[in-house]
Chains A and B, each alone.
Chain A
Amino acid sequence: RCWQNRRARLLCMLALTFLFFVVEVAVSRVTSSLAMLSDSFHMLSDVMALVVALVAVRFAQRTRATKKNTFGWVRAEVMGALVNAVFLTALCFTILLEAIERFTEPHEIQQPLVVIAVGVAGLIINLLGLCLFNHHGAGGHGHAHGHGHSHGGRQHPRGGPKSEQPPGDGELHREETSTLVENCSSSNGVSQEKLGDMKDDMSDVQVNGNAGHYPLDEEEVEEDSSAQLNMRGVFLHVFGDALGSVIVVVNALLFYGLWNPCPEDGPCFNPCVNDHCMENATLSQALGRANKSEQEVITVAGPCWLLYLDPVLCLIMVCILLYTTYPLLRESALILLQTVPKQIDVHSLNSKLRTLEGVEAIHELHIWQLAGSRIIGTAHIKCPDPSTYMMVAKRIKEIFHDEGIHATTIQPEFASVGSESGRGKCELPCRTQCALKQCCGTGEDSTAKKTEKSSSLSISCSEVVIEFPKTRRTKSESIPSVKLEANTDQNEQFESSL
Chain B
Amino acid sequence: MLPLSIKDDEYKPPRLNLLRKVSGWFRSILADKTSRNLFSFLCLNLSFAFVELLYGIWSNSLGLISDSFHMFFDCTALLAGLAASVISKWRSNDAFSYGYVRAEVLAGFVNGLFLIFTAFFIFSEGVERALEPPDVHHERLLPVSILGFIVNLIGIFVFQHGGHGHSHGSGHEHSHSLFNGGLSHGHSHGNHGHSLEHKHSHGHTHGHGHGHSHGQDYCHDDHSLEVMAGSSKQILQGVFLHIVADTLGSIGVIISAILMQNYGLMIADPICSMLIALLIGVSIVPLLKESIGILMQRTPPSLENALPQCYQRVQQLQGVYSLHDPHFWTLCTDVYIGTLKLLVAPDADGRWILSQTHNIFTQAGVRQLYIQIDVAAM
Contact = CB atoms under 8 A, between A and B. Distances in A.
Contact of B372 (A73, A110, A410): A410
A32 B25 CA distance: 52
A181 B93 contact: no
A41 interface: yes
Interface residues on A, range: 35 or more
A427 B355 CA distance: 9
A179 B368 CA distance: 22
A433 B335 contact: yes
Nearest to A456: B226
Contacts of B298: 68-69
Interface stretch (B155-163, B191-199, B243-251, B277-285): B191-199
A370 B297 CA distance: 9
Contacts of B23: 463
A442 interface: yes
Nearest to B115: A90
B91 A433 contact: no
A311 B2 CA distance: 59
Interface residues of B, number: 105
Contacts of B369: 411, 428, 430
Contacts of B150: none
A466 B96 contact: no
Contacts of B296: 69, 71, 73, 75-76, 79
B199 A456 contact: no
A459 B4 contact: no
Contacts of B289: none
B343 interface: yes
B377 A338 contact: no
A390 B368 CA distance: 23
Interface stretch (A136-144, A243-251, A351-359, A378-386): A378-386
B228 interface: yes
A468 B93 contact: yes
Interface in A455-492: 456-468, 471-474, 476-477
Nearest to A52: B113
A446 interface: yes
Interface string A424-453: 000110111110111111111111100100
Contact of B354 (A34, A178, A364, A413): A413
A436 B91 contact: no
A127 interface: no
Interface stretch (B43-51, B98-106, B135-143, B172-180): B98-106
Contacts of B99: 434, 438, 442
A105 interface: yes
Nearest to A32: B132
Interface in A183-215: 184, 186-188, 190, 195
Given A41-B124, A68-B304, A190-B311, A110 B374 contact: no
Contacts of B5: 446, 461-463, 466
B171 interface: no
A217 interface: no
Contact of B370 (A333, A378, A459, A465): A378
Contacts of B341: 176, 409
Given A94-B121, A104-B65, A340 B96 contact: yes
A289 B132 CA distance: 39
Contact of A446 (B4, B88, B110, B315): B4
Closest 4 CB pairs of A and B: A462-B5, A409-B339, A430-B368, A90-B117
Interface of A: 29, 32, 34-35, 37-38, 41, 44-45, 48, 67-71, 73, 75-76, 79, 82-83, 86-87, 90-91, 93-94, 97, 100-101, 104-105, 107, 110, 154-156, 176-182, 184, 186-188, 190, 195, 273, 333, 336-340, 346-347, 364-368, 370, 378-380, 386, 389-390, 409-414, 427-428, 430-434, 436-448, 451, 456-468, 471-474, 476-477
